[in-house]
Amino acid sequence: MESTLKLRIAQKVAARMAEALGRGIFREEYPSYVRELQHNFAPGVAVQDFRSDFEGGDGGELVSTGGRPGKLFAVHSSAALAINTFVPYRSEPGSLRLAGRGGFTLVRFEKKLRTGLGGTPPNLDLFALGDEAVLGVESKFAEILATKAANFSESYAGVVAELADPRWEEMYHSLCAEPKRFRHLDAAQLVKHYLGMRRGLAEEPVPKVLVYLFWEPENWSSVPEFALHRREALGFAMAVAGGEVEFSAMSYAELWNSWEDEGVWEGDEERLEYLRSRYVFEL
């Protein structure tokens, strides 16, 4: 079912894009991947505006593997979704409002945060720093359809004991005891992001917020996988509430609606129209 739904999502997005740009933008051997990276982004978005962020990250978004194009070329890329949503704020961070916070002075993609452990550090899809708060964003698109058991190396036990607030520590131990507690929410990844923010941002004297931002179809409540994912995300938020790092979960549609309601999108209606025309649909 995962592969079927993921294929339908990719086909829906590709069809929306083809209406505006034609089928020629897609690769014959990989029909849900664009030929040119620029084709995957909204009008006015320049690849050079964010390329350096991804070249310095560990996600391999631009790297071709086994002949398959880099993940950022996929129409269903969660990183591309984040770029299309947030790239204007990279040059104008003061205009960003997210999770009730503002006043940012720096916005970047693919931010690495150290946990004190070896291996690949957590990579935040979006990082925003300001005088009022520091935010880390984990962006999800079709990835939530994959079921993934929680997995931690033994070295995490010491870091959790050192850094974690009681509720996050309880969540960590719960996931170790029951790795399949969550079916569609990658809870282990969120715990690792949290630890990265606790360690890597310890010297920042402002509130810290980890935002879980996810895509879902308009009819999410009638699609079992997405309905369960939403319950899991909101349940996770309740379970870890009250810690040093605030956790917030919301859908992209909810974010775009809030920006429109608050007037953040004044003068930028075309970009909002692009986001909705590409990403808002039923399954």
pLDDT at position 262: 85
The radius of gyration computed from the CA coordinates of the chain, to the nearest angstrom, equals 18
pLDDT at position 62: 74
List the beta bridge partners of residue 245: 208
- List the chain domain ranges: 2-279
Tokens 């591309």 -> residue: 80
> pTM of this prediction?
0.94
Q: Where are the alpha helices (DSSP H) in 22-149?
A: 51-55, 78-86, 88-91
240: left (phi over 0), alpha (psi -120 to 50) or beta: alpha
Look at the chain and count its residues.
283
pLDDT at position 97: 93
Full pLDDT tens readout for the chain, 283 residues: 568 999 999 999 999 999 999 999 999 999 999 999 999 999 888 888 888 888 865 556 777 777 788 899 999 999 999 999 999 999 999 999 999 999 999 999 999 888 877 777 889 999 999 999 999 999 999 999 988 899 999 999 999 999 999 999 999 999 999 999 999 999 999 999 999 999 999 888 999 999 999 999 999 999 999 999 999 999 999 999 998 999 999 999 999 999 998 877 666 788 899 999 999 999 9
270 sits in which H/E element: helix 269-279
Enumerate residues 6+ apart whose C-beta is below 8 A from 205. Answer: none
Question: Residue 111 has which token pair?
Answer: 């931010």
Residue pair 107/93 in contact (Cβ under 8 Å)? The answer is yes
